[in-house]
Amino acid sequence: MTYSSFFVSEFLVLWRRKQDVFNALLFFIIVVALFPIGINSSPDFLAPAAAGIVWCAAVLAILMAVESIFKEDYLDGSLEQLVVSGLSLPLLILLKVAAQWLVVVLPLLVIIPLLSEMLYLPSSGFWVLIMTLIVGTPSLFFIGVIGAALTVSIKQGAMLVMLLILPFYLPVIIFSTLAVKATQSGLPYSGLLAMLLAMSLLSLVISPFMTAIVVKASVN
Amino acid sequence: MSWAWFHKLGSPKWFFSWSKPWALPLFCFGCLSLLIGLVWGLVFAPADYQQGNSFRIIYIHVPVAMLAQSCYLALGAAGFVFLVWQMKMAPVFIKAMAPIGAVMSLVALVSGAIWGKPTWGTWWVWDARLTSVLVLFFLYMGIIALQNSLEDQVLANKAAAVISVVGLINLPVIKYSVVLLETLHQGPTFTLTKKPEMPAEMWLPLLFAVIGLYCFVAGVVLWRMQSEILMSEHRSSWVKQEVTKHGF
Amino acid sequence: MQSSASLTISDLWIERGERDLCKGLSFSVQPGEVVRILGENGAGKSSLLKIIAGVLSPLEGKILYSGEDVTLDRTSLQQDAIYLGHSVGVKGLLTVAENLRWYCPDISISILYSVLTQLDLIDLVDVLVKKLSAGQARRVALARLWLTKKTLWLLDEPFASLDVGGVALLEERIQQHVLLGGLVILTTHQDLMSITPHDVVLLS
């Protein structure tokens, strides 16, 4: 096994599971649609709330996608093979998360223009929203993958992952929505983007090692 | 300075015999000091000139809120110690401490709400402090739920340690973000951060209550750890001796 | 392949879920040796293999590989070893060829096809593994033994769900490997036909 052959096989598996990715995307859209339907569909409410709605939906969709990232590998024994491969387990996990991020977030970004139109997001906020998604979502994946590893041996672990991980997502949601709100009221937002970037980098450094510890303890 | 005591913490037997004489005195002293603080604070301390008698709830709210945060600090530290030195006592500590932290943050939330009603006019305000205690409560519940659903003990220990450490790293960020959220929203007009200078007869009972609660919790945690040790080491000969000598 | 490789286990103490599986276990494996681990169900055969492979850690004891102490960091052993556990580690959503290419990316098409022909998998080369039977999936995993040049083989019940032909094929391959100076440690409940192993017995 090499790092590149692992990365390629990860993409192949994700390609064969494209229905799951598509489902995550549909889930994302339907959660967004819940807000205008359930609360208020007037532009006065939606325009300032748009970024928050998109982020809440994105957080849920991403956590649903990340939650099962190790499940199949755990059941078929390939997770064990990663541990004994002699390659660096944190690096393999990093590659796995990177592949998953590309496959989940890129379609999500493609759908954002449509959704921001539906939520009456002013064009000034649109690009900032895109930027917060690009800069902020890696930390969601890196934090979420710890939860996925913690619960990989539990049969019905999805709810537990939600309970464990969602509190850690609050800062990302707060920084992102504040950044979009700041542009809408003409304030600088670069500091908030920097915070998001810092969170992504910090979790990129810490999470693979933590996840590796948990994965090693889980496969036995 | 000798580090022997630190390494001895890895041995359940050593920890058990070391902590045995501490639990009861700590507990009793804690109860006493807590009682003094509460009675003094709730009955004898002068009423606040702004808030009247409703301020008296700080004698409950402030100690439990402090405990709720300190407990998490201790959890994170224990998790770190376990991940780095594989110390056997650390997960036992986490297991004993997490429910106490959860209860403390819940009491802090409830007492905060009770205090909020006369002061802010509502039971709940998305104030930075209340919100971060709410998040803290969820973090505790997450650890407890995780420990309960993992059957393999080795994995449960590692998992609790990892999530405590990750939580500790994240806690300042969560706190900062919540404060940021509040300052950009319309904040409450009355904030707890700018308290007027307190006279001694007001803060002394508070000090008693805080110290008392810390000792009380320390005693309870030691007890919980001791019984956990007896459970998990039930096969070893010293536990059998211990139980037959003193009864359970 | 390193023909000078050797594995030495000394004073190993295995604990599993608060139960001591074995204490003070010592044995060594020299080039050209097959070691069979015997013991009742739950005696710790799989745990021993997992410990050597680096999935688990022993409570106490030492593992030496080619004279180097690998107890704390199993990397150098892992780079020269192949471990097949109960779940064989082939992905259901990849085809036979893709699975093997994942584990052995440098292998040429012709070698891959000749090995798959030997193992009776050549007609299934582009079939997703989830559509194969348990025995066929195990053959896919075992194909790695033909494709890699690792010295140390750690095989946990390798004969499970194989048919008679498969068992004979695998035994032949193990023989070949050992003749070239390889090391094999395996657990099995079956009698071996053509191999005479050294037995290590785990007492519970």
pLDDT at B162 over 60: yes
The whole-angstrom separation of Cα C90 and Cα A57 is 34
Per CB-CB distance under 8 Å, the chain C contacts of A219 are 55
The answer for C 15-74 residues in CB contact with B (under 8 A) is 17-18
pLDDT at B51 over 70: yes
**Mean pLDDT (whole number) for B221-246:** 80
Mutate to test the interface with A, among C103, C127, C151 (most CBs of A within 10 A): C103
| Predicted pLDDT of residue A12 | 93
Q: Which residue has the higher pLDDT, B120 or A113?
A: A113
Per CB-CB distance under 8 Å, the chain B contacts of C18 are 153, 232, 235
pLDDT band for C4, please (50, 70, 90 cuts).
Answer: confident
pLDDT at B169 over 70: yes
The residues near C106 (Cβ < 8 Å, ≥ 6 apart) are none
Could you write out the DSSP letters of every residue in chain B?
---HHHHHTT-HHHHHHHHHHHHHHHHHHHHHHHHHHHHIIIIISPPBTTTBGGGGGHHHHHHHHHHHHHHHHHHHHHHHHHHHH--THHHHHHHHHHHHHHHHHHHHHHHHHHHHHHHHSSS----HHHHHHHHHHHHHHHHHHHHHH---HHHHHHHHHHHHHHHHHHHHHHHHHHHHHHHHS---SS-SSSPPPPPHHHHHHHHHHHHHHHHHHHHHHHHHHHHHHHHHTTTSHHHHHHHHHH--
| Predicted pLDDT of residue B186 | 45
The whole-angstrom separation of Cα B61 and Cα B67 is 10
Residue where the block lists tokens 């190790």 = A70
**Closest to B25 measured CA to CA, from B218, B224, B242, B248:** B218
> CB contacts < 8 Å between B and C, how many?
6
Distance from CA of B20 to the nearest CA of A (A): 32
Per CB-CB distance under 8 Å, the chain A contacts of C86 are 77
Residue C15 lies in a domain: yes
**Closest to C62 measured CA to CA, from C17, C7, C4, C5:** C7
- Contact yes or no for B66/B149 (Cβ under 8 A): no
**Mean pLDDT (whole number) for A120-145:** 94
Per CB-CB distance under 8 Å, the chain A contacts of B159 are 150, 214, 217
| Predicted pLDDT of residue B187 | 44
Amino acid (one-letter) located at A120: Y
pLDDT at B53 over 80: no
Amino acid (one-letter) located at C124: L
DSSP, collapsed to helix, strand or coil, labels residue C94 as: coil
Chains sharing 3 or more CB pairs under 8 A with chain A: B, C
Residue C34 lies in a domain: yes
**Mean pLDDT (whole number) for B48-59:** 78
Token output for C29: 């494996």
Tell me if A13 and C88 make a contact (CB, 8 A cut-off).
no
| Predicted pLDDT of residue A66 | 93
Lowest mean pLDDT among B137-141, B187-191, C136-140, C195-199: B187-191
| pTM, 2 dp | 0.90
Domain count, chain C: 1
Per CB-CB distance under 8 Å, the chain C contacts of B232 are 18
Q: Which residue has the higher pLDDT, A129 or B244?
A: A129
**Mean pLDDT (whole number) for A156-173:** 92
Cα of A30 vs its chain's centroid, Å: 17
Of residues C55, C102, C128, nearest to A220 (C-beta): C55
Range of the domain at C7: 1-78+183-204
The strand pairing partners of C28, in sequence order, are: C8
* Averaged confidence pLDDT in chain B: 83
The whole-angstrom separation of Cα C183 and Cα C36 is 11
| Predicted pLDDT of residue B188 | 43
Q: What is the Cα Rg of chain C in Å? A: 17
**Chain B residues contacting C via beta carbons under 8 Å:** 152-154, 232, 235
The residues near C130 (Cβ < 8 Å, ≥ 6 apart) are C92, C93
**Mean pLDDT (whole number) for A35-64:** 93
Mutate to test the interface with B, among A93, A162, A168 (most CBs of B within 10 A): A168
Q: What percent of chain C has pLDDT over 90?
A: 27
CA atoms within 13 A on the CB side of A168: 31
Mutate to test the interface with B, among C18, C50, C56, C57 (most CBs of B within 10 A): C18
Quick one: DSSP state of residue C95?
Answer: B
Per CB-CB distance under 8 Å, the chain C contacts of B235 are 18
The answer for A 67-126 residues in CB contact with B (under 8 A) is none
Q: What percent of chain B has pLDDT over 70?
A: 88
Residue C93 lies in a domain: no
| Predicted pLDDT of residue B184 | 57
**Mean pLDDT (whole number) for C154-163:** 89
Could you write out the DSSP letters of every residue in A85-117?
SSS-HHHHHHHHHHHHHHHHHHHHHHHHHHHHH
Q: What is each CA distance from B13 to B233, B240, B242, C87, in whole angstroms?
A: 9, 12, 10, 39
Residue C31 lies in a domain: yes
Per CB-CB distance under 8 Å, the chain C contacts of B152 are 17
pLDDT digit string (tens) for A78-96?
999 999 998 999 999 999 9
Of residues A164, A171, A217, nearest to B155 (C-beta): A217
pLDDT digit string (tens) for B13-32?
888 888 888 888 889 999 99
Per CB-CB distance under 8 Å, the chain B contacts of A160 are 142, 145-146, 149
pLDDT band for C191, please (50, 70, 90 cuts).
Answer: confident
Mutate to test the interface with C, among A21, A70, A84, A215 (most CBs of C within 10 A): A84
Residue C65 lies in a domain: yes
Domain harbouring C56, CATH code: 3.40.50.300
Lowest mean pLDDT among A29-43, A181-195, B194-208, C158-172: B194-208
**Mean pLDDT (whole number) for C189-196:** 79
Quick one: DSSP state of residue C125?
Answer: T
Tell me if A220 and B165 make a contact (CB, 8 A cut-off).
no
